[in-house]
Amino acid sequence: MNSCQSNLPSTLTVSLREMRMVFERLVQVARVEAGLVPSLRDCAVYSAALGLGGFSRLDANLELLSRADPHAVTIIDSAEGVVVDGGGQHAWIVALAALDIATERLRSNGEGVVTVRNQIESDELKVVEALAQRFGLKAIVSVDGAGGSAAIKVLPATDASEIAILDRIRESGLGVDAATWWALFHRSADALAPDSYLSRRHAGPIIVEADGKVIGRQDEDETDFSLLLADAPKAVASTSKH
């Protein structure tokens, strides 16, 4: 190992924006239903913030999510209360549905309690405690490790500190092992289109035709046309041959 490598930090502090960008790309790579991408991205962020699976188990969680079927989740309303049956799905798939129902019950009858059962990675259901804060609510998640079931109770937050997790992440970021972060970062590039002359032409608020004609904004938008058109002669020549 050379001296430059040995001086690299073993841990990094990553910002909320960086986590959201990388986690959203990784969720897209897992090929989950498009409508679930934002919520699963947030679940990944909060899993890291709450000390759950977080960064180290993200690959394993994404592998499970790649086989998810959100339609398997069912709601059972009985005399004993509401039960969310996860249908064998990952806890992140179940989390928002369970939170929505608990919140509705809190507002309709003053008792925001639901039971969740039949999901995998049950400990990850604790992300509900962070997800609830956007609604000004405090959530308490009690997981039965042996049985895989959980009880969720939501109630109005009575102190600003109970709904401050997002602000803390925004202000201070989260610490992560550098090697783990860079592995995730580079893997997230699989969600991006490969760099090409065509992709450069359609990047940003303008389109640049093969002959250099600009379609779109004409103001000073700091577009580097020299880079954008760097391969234009080769691309035009290749097109003309066909």
Residue 40 has pLDDT above 80, yes or no: yes
Q: Has residue 223 been placed in a domain?
A: yes
Rounded Cα gap, residues 84 and 212, in angstroms? 57
Structure tokens at 25: 């790309």
CB 87 within 8 A of CB 74: yes
Q: Quick one: pLDDT at residue 35?
A: 86
Sign of the CA dihedral with 60 first, then 64, 70, and 73 last: negative
The pLDDT of residue 109: 87
In-domain check, residue 233: yes
- The percent of residues in the chain predicted with pLDDT above 90, rounded, is 57
113, part of any domain: no
141 burial level (CB within 10 Å; 0-12, 13-18, 19+):
buried
Residue 228 CB neighbours (<10 A): 18
Q: Across the chain, what does the average pLDDT equal? A: 83
Q: Is the pLDDT of residue 119 over 60?
A: yes
Cα four-point dihedral sign 39, 41, 42, 47: positive
Are 151 and 115 in contact, with CB atoms under 8 Å apart? yes
Instruction: Please report the beta strands in the chain, taking only residues with DSSP state E, as ranges in sequence order.
Output: 11-14, 74-78, 81-90, 112-120, 137-143, 150-156, 174-177, 206-208, 214-216
Instruction: For residue 221, report the phi and psi dihedrals to the nearest 5 degrees.
Output: -105, 10
pLDDT band of residue 196 (cuts 50, 70, 90) is low
Instruction: Tell me the C-alpha distance between 99 and 190, whole Å.
Output: 32
pLDDT tens profile 48-94: 999 999 999 999 999 999 988 989 999 998 877 899 999 999 999 99
Residue 228 has pLDDT above 60, yes or no: no
Instruction: Tell me how far apart the alpha carbons of residues 229 and 241 are, in angstroms, rounded to a whole number.
Output: 19
- With respect to residue 208, please indicate whether it lies within any of the assigned structural domains: yes
Looking at the domain assignment, is residue 102 inside a domain? no
Q: How many domains does the chain have?
A: 1
Residue 215 placed within a domain: yes
Find the Cα–Cα–Cα–Cα dihedral 26, 30, 33, 34, rounded to 10°. Answer: 30
Q: What is the span of the domain harbouring residue 214?
A: 197-241
The verdict on residue 209 lying in a domain is: yes
Residue-wise pLDDT tens digits, 125-147: 999 999 999 999 999 999 987 66
Task: At 39, give phi and psi (nearest 5°).
Answer: -70, -40
Helix or strand run (H / E) with residue 76: strand 74-78
In a domain? residue 7: no
153 vs 105: CA distance, rounded Å: 10
